[in-house]
């Protein structure tokens, strides 16, 4: 199987499983990933997802070019970049996604990383873009990094210098590409611990928070404020009331 999927204690664990190909994605893996994101989205028993990769050398090295451009079989006006199917937000997954990166994360690996909510990496992780070495335009991956908040100059260095420009784990932390660097042998356990902590929270509140924050990136301030208020009104319905909150509500009613 190109992707492994497991659910336990409200946490879905998705493991890229082509280590012999450095977890490069092909048509089969892309289809499997898309299906699993839809399952995470629609299964209310799943509160959080962890994305990780099998093997010692790489998290993901982008598209498997040895299998050709399978998406070119479509009419030229109907073609889409196959990588867009890899990101959870393309599937409207508002449940938190924690991605654990080790080894090489190259090119199209950024489709996963750019749409994750929390990204951590091991101290041996390196991020680079091979497009320039192959004479190819690099566009969607670096644009996604910009949207994530990585500084313009660093994105340009990453995209233009190709394999020779390696963002180390320490630099990724400084740029905000990841939020934590851990020893390699602690990577999966750290991701699992973060997921368990979030999964214990009220899922309606967590999902509303994730959606409000991601949508705000593309919205004018006034629109994001209105949407944020609407999400609090929707997502906070039915939450348990503390004695203090209930008393305050009664007091406001009689003012």
The Cα–Cα gap between 79 and 108 comes to 17
Confidence grade of residue 251 (pLDDT, cut at 50, 70, 90): low
Alpha helices in the chain (DSSP H): 27-42, 110-114, 140-148, 152-160, 169-175, 187-199, 203-217, 221-235, 243-253
The model's pTM is 0.90
Would you say residue 112 has pLDDT above 90?
Answer: yes
What is the DSSP annotation of 48-76? Answer: EEEEEE-SSSEEE-SB-GGG--GGGGS-T
In whole angstroms, what is the distance from residue 112 CA to residue 141 CA?
A: 10
Longest dimension (CA), the chain: 72
DSSP 3-state of 31: helix
pLDDT of residue 80: 74
For residue 49, which phi and psi values (nearest 5 degrees)?
-125, 140
Give the mean pLDDT of 145-160: 96
Q: 104 by DSSP, 3-state: which? A: strand
**pLDDT tens, position by position, 34-83:** 999 999 999 999 999 999 999 999 999 999 988 766 666 667 777 777 78
Side-chain-side CA neighbours of 88 within 13 Å: the count stands at 29
Cα–Cα distance measured from residue 118 to residue 176, given in angstroms and rounded to the nearest whole number: 11
């Amino acid at each position: 199987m190109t992707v492994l999927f497991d659910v336990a204690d409200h946490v879905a664990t998705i493991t890229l499983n082509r280590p012999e190909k450095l977890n490069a994605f092909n048509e089969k893996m892309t289809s499997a990933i898309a299906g699993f994101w839809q399952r995470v989205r629609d299964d209310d028993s799943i509160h959080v997802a962890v994305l990780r990769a099998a093997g010692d050398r790489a998290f993901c090295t982008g598209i498997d070019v040895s299998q050709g451009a399978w998406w070119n079989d479509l009419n030229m006006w109907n073609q889409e970049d196959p990588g867009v199917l890899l990101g959870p937000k393309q599937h409207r997954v508002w449940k938190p996604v924690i991605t654990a990166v080790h080894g090489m994360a190259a090119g199209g690996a950024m489709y996963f990383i750019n749409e994750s909510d929390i990204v951590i990496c091991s101290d041996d992780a390196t991020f680079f873009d091979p497009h320039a070495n192959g004479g190819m335009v690099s566009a969607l991956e670096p644009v996604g990094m910009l949207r994530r908040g990585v500084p313009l100059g660093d994105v340009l260095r990453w995209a233009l210098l190709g394999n020779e420009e390696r963002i180390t784990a320490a630099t990724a932390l400084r740029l905000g590409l990841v939020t934590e660097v851990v020893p390699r042998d602690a990577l999966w356990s750290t991701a699992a611990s973060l997921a368990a902590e979030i999964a214990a929270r009220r899922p309606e509140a967590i999902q509303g928070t994730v959606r409000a924050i991601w949508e705000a990136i593309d919205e004018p301030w006034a629109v994001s404020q209105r949407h944020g208020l609407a999400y609090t009104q929707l997502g906070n319905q039915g939450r348990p009331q503390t004695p203090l909150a209930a008393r305050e509500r009664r007091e406001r009613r009689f003012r």
